[in-house]
Amino acid sequence: MTTLALSNLVHDTPALLQWIGNGFRTFFEGIQDARSLAHRFETLSRLSNDELAARGLKREDIPQAVFAGIHVG
C-alpha cells in the first residue's frame, strides 16, 4: 500500500509543481501588466492638453487609451 501511495506521489509531483509554477508565473505576469498600465497612465497624465490633442486624445480619454494599448512615445 505504501509503495502504491509513493508511486502515485512521485508520478503526480511534477504535474503539481508545474501547476504551482504556472500559478506563480501568471500572478507575476499580472503584476507586470498592471505596472505597465500604471506607467502608461502616469506618462499620459503628465502630458499637457495640447500634447494629448496631438495624439488625438483628451484628458478624459486617458483611461481608455491606456487599456487600448496606445503607446506613449
What domain count does the chain have? Answer: 1
- Residue 21: inside a domain: yes
Domain containing 28 equals: 2-68
- Residue 73: inside a domain: no
pLDDT at 72: 59
pLDDT 10s digits, 3-23: 666 677 667 778 878 888 999
pLDDT at 6: 62
- Cα–Cα distance between 21 and 44 in angstroms, integer? 35
Average pLDDT per block of 10 residues along the chain, 73 residues long: 65 81 94 95 96 95 89 59
All three cell numbers of 13, joined, read 509531483
